[in-house]
Amino acid sequence: MHAPHAPRHVAFVVYPGIQLLDVTGPAAVFGMVNEVVARPSYQITAVSDGGGLVSSSCGLTLDTRDLEQVSGIAFDTVLVGGGEEDAITCQFANVRLRNWMEAQTHRVRRYGSVCTGAFVLAEFGLAQNRTVTTHWEGAGILANDYPDLTVNANALYVSDGQLWSSAGVATGIDMSLAMVEEDHGKEVANAVAKRLVLYARRPGFQSQFSPVLNAQARVGADPTFGTLIEWMRQHLQEPLDSARLAQQVALSERSFYRKFVAATGKTPAEFVELLRLDVAKQLFEQHASLKEVAFHTGFANTKRLTRAFERHFGMTPALFRELHVSAN
């Protein structure tokens, strides 16, 4: 049991080529708690196989302690950061690190990964029969290579019992804030977010990408639909049926429908609703009322907005604001 007011020890597993922000982002969150609560609440240690200075992917180095040097520390949380493919796969054969990580999972309250660090946990057999997330570029590969785990490719972070994982890079900050809230409550977590000048705290269920970014990534170099999507965003209060959209890009309705689905992966009606909901979330974050949001996003009334919001996000707009807007 954690002694009252005793600092919780957090270990970041470091290796050559690690993504620096995967370590420093979450570390900044835990470190800021000490300032917010005005006492040593977290003690942070970077560990590596061999200790000493370890170079990150951007060339900056981290000063680490060898795994044996920290054998006497009762860690509360152990996190593995991500890196490029070569840096990650080099750790797969690291028996010393594997043994240390396996031992830690039986001792710590929670362990996890940031970004592609999930591959290390999966390779070491530390994510079996669990749900995890990782960077969107690696989600499909992770699911294919390790069928004994479930990959949530959309979440910013996932908490599955003792195991936590985040989608990548900056989402490690979101995950760490959720850990802080678990340890110290929402008020402290929100204060840390404010000190770090974060725009908003993002809940784990939020998708890694908005429908606009997804669509823009899919349409690629084709300027037709990229321009149309931006036009749609600017005209959400107006009727946006297939006929209107086809006219906007000078295509027949039938040809437009076929090409739009091929380019975006969504029907025009599906995409319009997703776009309206994406903007609705942004307006809620700016403290707009339900009636104002319904008006500005083109929903006929608040009931239709609420039903669509619940259908896509699994919660009411009121709950979304409670979870997501209180940090602002």
* 38-62 pLDDT tens trace: 999 999 999 999 999 999 999 999 9
Which pLDDT band holds residue 37 (cuts at 50, 70, 90)?
A: very high
pLDDT in tens, 213-249: 556 555 554 567 878 888 998 999 999 999 999 999 9
Contact 170, 198 (CB under 8 A): no
Judge whether 8-195 and 211-324 match in fold. Answer: no
What pLDDT is recorded for position 219? 55
What pLDDT is recorded for position 268? 92
* Superfamily of segment(s) 8-195: Class I glutamine amidotransferase (GATase) domain (3.40.50.880)
Please give the model's pTM, rounded to 2 decimal places: 0.67
What pLDDT is recorded for position 139? 87
Contact 211, 196 (CB under 8 A): no
Share of the chain above pLDDT 70, in %: 88
Which pLDDT band holds residue 2 (cuts at 50, 70, 90)?
A: low
User: In CATH, what class is 211-324?
Assistant: mainly alpha
Evaluate if residue 278 carries a pLDDT over 90: no
As a whole number, the mean pLDDT across the chain is 88
> Domain boundaries in the chain?
8-195, 211-324
Average pLDDT over residues 110-115: 96
